[in-house]
């Protein structure tokens, strides 16, 4: 297996994310993943990039709502 692919549980633990949230985001297509049977795998670099975009977007939205 490619070292850059990591199972959902490992990714959740490593990045301190709730596994249920990570799974639902992946299943809804909000995060890129590889589904193999019942398991979900993430490319670590892609996951970090997508999580950073989510955080930036939320930060910008909060900043805009505070200005009003």
Domain boundaries, the chain: 5-67
pTM for the model stands at: 0.79
Say if residue 68's pLDDT is above 60. no
- Please, what is the Cα angle at 23 between 27 and 63, to 5 degrees? 95
Q: How many helices (H) and strands (E) does the chain have?
A: 3, 3
The whole-number pLDDT of residue 58 equals 78
Say if residue 65's pLDDT is above 90. no
Identify the residue with better confidence: 43 or 63.
43
Tens digits of residue pLDDT in 8-29: 999 999 999 999 999 999 999 9
Percentage, residues of the chain above pLDDT 90: 72
For the chain, report the end-to-end CA distance as a whole number of angstroms. 50
């Amino acid at each position: 297996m490619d070292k850059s692919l990591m199972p959902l549980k490992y990714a959740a633990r490593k990045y301190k994310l709730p596994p249920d949230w990570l799974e639902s985001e992946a299943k809804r297509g909000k995060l890129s993943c590889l589904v193999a049977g019942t398991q979900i795998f993430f490319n670590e670099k892609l996951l970090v990039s997508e999580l950073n975009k989510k955080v930036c977007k939320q930060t910008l939205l909060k900043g805009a709502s505070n200005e009003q």
